[in-house]
Amino acid sequence: MKAVVLYPNGGMPQCADVPEPIVQNGKEVLVTVKAVAIKHLDKSRASGKHYSSDAPKENGHVIGGDGVCLLPDGTRVYGIGASGMMAEKATIDSNMIVPIPDGVNDLVAAALPNAVFGAAMALLFKADIQPGDVVLINGATGFTGRVAVQLAKHYGAGKVIATGRNQTSLNELLSMGADEIISVSQDDDSFKSQFMALHSQKPVDIIIDYLWGHTAELILSCLKGNGSFTNSIRFVSVGSMSGDVIRLSAAIMRSTNIQLTGSGLGAWTKSQIQQLFKEILPNAFTLAATGKLIVDTVSVPMENIAGVWDLDVQNGQRLVITL
């Protein structure tokens, strides 16, 4: 069968002939793959840089951790791969699948789940979003950030503030649920002044951060208190697109009623993962099917993978490989 393989000597992934995967236990099922999204997680894992990465396989490995596929009876589902998903055939975990409604096409169904992982899990379980909360999405112009803005409003946020570098995408977010936008391309003083003005009007309750790095430092510095009572703030780190390390003053932690936590693989409980597949993802698919959750994709056939692996997809779109 054809599959996308990354070899240990580096370079671009290649479309190659590989053996069909074999079901290893009673939980696995062999499926026909239809579409797989290329995410930062996939690239990071493929390169061995993600904390959940396995050691490189000597003969290369099929990439892709999830996707849209057909069960043996023809049912279309989203599934998590037991084998690499960017292949004509794959094995998936039968306990981690979600049926896809007819109103959601393969591209949307492949692209949306990872963004739901990165948005819903942070909002619901790590930030414990409550009706009326003021939510700041730091790095909202990427695919997951745009989903986070929409889900925050769906979960009851009273106000959503979106930050980002891409001004076109920022402006579009105003029609997708964002109430205020802040550009991270402006100088530090202007960024802090704009954030502090909004925070003084009505304090931010939740920060969902996809950037970390310098912008996280700026936001945290604005939160430092002066000894007076402060509101409860839940700061959730989900990504680190702007750097993996920050400088954090202990005075910020002591002077502010702040909870600093993370949301990602390894940070969720088994019951939360079960809820993700039984309730949260199905709900997200329903929102997409009814036009209440908008995502944008770019599709490329599997045989063209080498030419698009390093493609910088703009305006909050997600690249999806079709098989």
Chain segment 248-277, per-residue pLDDT in tens: 999 999 999 999 999 999 999 999 999 999
pLDDT of the residue at 59? 66
pLDDT of the residue at 10? 62
pLDDT of the residue at 87? 97
- Cα-Cα-Cα-Cα torsion 196, 200, 204, 210, nearest 10 degrees, comes to -10
Instruction: Please name every residue paired with 159 in a beta bridge, in sequence order, or none if there are none.
Output: 134
pLDDT of the residue at 313? 85
What's the predicted TM-score (pTM) here? 0.92
Q: What homologous superfamily is domain 115-262 in, according to CATH? A: NAD(P)-binding Rossmann-like Domain (3.40.50.720)
Chain segment 112-130, per-residue pLDDT in tens: 999 999 999 999 999 999 9
Nearest to 62 by CA among 299, 310, 305, 312: 305
pLDDT of the residue at 74? 97
pLDDT of the residue at 311? 82
Chain segment 28-46, per-residue pLDDT in tens: 999 999 999 998 766 665 5
The domain 2-99+293-322 is placed in CATH, from the list 3.40.50.720, 2.40.40.20, 3.90.180.10, 3.50.50.60, at 3.90.180.10
Give CATH 3.40.50.720 domain extents, the chain: 115-262
pLDDT of the residue at 42? 62
pLDDT of the residue at 220? 97
3-state secondary structure 132-172: CCEEEEECCCCHHHHHHHHHHHHCCCCEEEEEECCHHHHHH
- CA end-to-end span of the chain, whole Å? 11
pLDDT along the chain (323 residues), means of 10: 84 89 95 93 56 54 94 98 96 96 97 97 98 98 97 98 95 97 97 97 97 97 91 96 94 96 95 97 98 96 89 88 96
pLDDT of the residue at 312? 81
Residue 17 and residue 67 in contact, taking contact as beta carbons nearer than 8 Å: no
Hey, what amino acid is at 11?
G
